[in-house]
Amino acid sequence: MKLSIIIGLLLSGIVLIVSCQSDDQLEYARYYSTGRVLYQSKCQNCHGKNGEGLQSLIPPLTDSVYLKRNKELLACSVKYGLKGKLNIAQKYFDGQMPASDITGVELAEVLTYINNSFGNKLGVVTTQMVNEGLNKCN
């Protein structure tokens, strides 16, 4: 008898917590965890486990200011690659990032992960934001 009351209380507690999470938070959590898997398979070799990059060869992903300023262009960079001079984390880079086969919702997921890892806290990147960004690619 006592046990069933405790279980009942616990269950109702869980329901309360879950229902308190807004849709946005759920979407964020889903994007973030799928994004992490994508990051590990498509980005980590070069940018590193902790987004640290590689010396002056590969830029780190820890520069929140750069990420914020280029928020709209990030989808283009991931999808089509990036070439030319960059100033990231007070360092100059002049390499080339290859294009990737990450598309659609995956871009939103991987960008949500990057924008909220390695010390960045820039919030969710939605597919709508990605699509708007992709329309402005050079």
Interface with another protein by CB under 8 A: which residues? 45-46, 48, 54-58, 95-96, 98
CB of 3 to another protein, least distance (A): 46
CB of 98 to another protein, least distance (A): 5
CB-nearer residue toward another protein: 41 or 135: 41
CB-nearer residue toward another protein: 91 or 136: 91
CB-nearer residue toward another protein: 59 or 133: 59
CB-nearer residue toward another protein: 19 or 96: 96
At CA 19, angle to CA 108 and CA 33, rounded to 5?
30
d(CA 123, CA 114): 10
* Inter-residue contact 137 to 76 (CB < 8 Å): yes
User: Rounded to the nearest 5°, which phi and psi values hold at 133?
Assistant: -65, -45
CB of 93 to another protein, least distance (A): 8
Coil vs helix vs strand at 88 = strand
d(CA 81, CA 100): 7
d(CA 105, CA 62): 23
